[in-house]
Amino acid sequence: MMPTDESRMSQPRYAGVPTFMRTPYQTDLTDLDIALIGIPYDGAVTNRAGARHGPRDIRDKSSMMRAIHHVTKVNPYALCNIADIGDATFEALFDHDAVVRDIESFFARVHKAGVVPLSAGGDHSVSYPILKAIAKDEPVGLIHIDAHTDTWDEFQGSKFMHGTPFRRAHEDGLIDASRTIQIGIRGAQNTSEGWDYSLAQGMRVVFMEEFTQMGVDAVIQEARRIVGDGPAYLTFDVDGLDPVYAPGTGTPEIGGITTIEAQALLRGLRHLNLIGADVVEVAPPFDPSGNTSLVGATLMYEMLCLLAEVIADKKAMK
């Protein structure tokens, strides 16, 4: 007999085949509301690889998640049909253009089926092909939590790397700069190119010092004001957190967001019109304790609750 969602959640956490949040694994998108997806790719990092191992370890640590949110009392599994549909796969792993096409194709199938994607990377370059798949009809708003703006033009001659996804997305008309907010930005750079581009295009850049001065509640209100009621995508690079909480990442920057601030920030985004989300840059080889993957899994659960409420809101309006 196949276990039900309830019985699966009650099984010992060390038992069974690991899936995101212990949801069922299925490839059939019929009647699915939210697809949990892994993107095991870090071929676009500038220095410390390792995020390719993120999805597998996040799946493992996500067995620690439970059903009902202790603050909002949301149970995403009671609101939506949710499953782990596996990982995006690659035909030519060392060809950047082919990787973009493979990820875009995978997510286009999900989007065509009317399913909302929640993903675990992988490096931050993966957000670009996701947006190519789900925002091709109209530009969307963007809530981007990160230490870096990721709006460089290129690195070592390549325009596809983990510091360029949102420049590429903006150039392609996938994101609306006036409805984009980048939160937690910090760290010295060898060039101000990324900061300059974001600001020149009209993106709202909340540097970490301003975040600290404003406080979480004010940043939430700013994010809600910027994004408005239109469709928006949520992306969380774990290097947006202080590395004391998430050392297992490729480009750590001290002086970042705490985990309790991150949770409060995400909870403050309830009922926004989110069409997808991702957690990226979890690199388990740099954190033998496994804590960064646990943080990634917990952030993913917070996002799952947000997406489930949005879908429930839309169902109620029909």
Annotated binding site for Mn(2+): 124, 146, 148, 150, 237, 239
Where does residue 73 rank: exposed (0-12), middle (13-18), buried (19+ CB within 10 A)?
Answer: exposed
In the DSSP assignment, the letter for residue 85 is E
Rounded (5°) CA angle 39-88-36:
70
In the DSSP assignment, the letter for residue 25 is B
Scanning the chain, the segments in alpha helix (DSSP H) are 5-10, 54-61, 76-79, 96-112, 127-134, 165-171, 193-200, 208-214, 216-227, 259-267, 291-317
d(CA 111, CA 107): 6
Residue 122 preceded by cis peptide, ω within 30: yes
Q: State the residue for tokens 């069409």.
A: 275
Helix and strand element counts for the chain (H, E): 11, 8
Enter the tokens of residue 218. 């004010």
- The neighbour count for residue 56, using CB atoms within 10 Å, is 15
d(CA 101, CA 231): 23
Q: Which residues contact 224 (CB under 8 A, 6 or more apart)?
A: 268, 269, 272
Q: Which amino acid is at 131?
A: L
Positions at the binding site = 124, 146, 148, 150, 237, 239
- The neighbour count for residue 315, using CB atoms within 10 Å, is 11
How far from each other are the two terminal CA atoms of the chain, in whole angstroms? Answer: 35
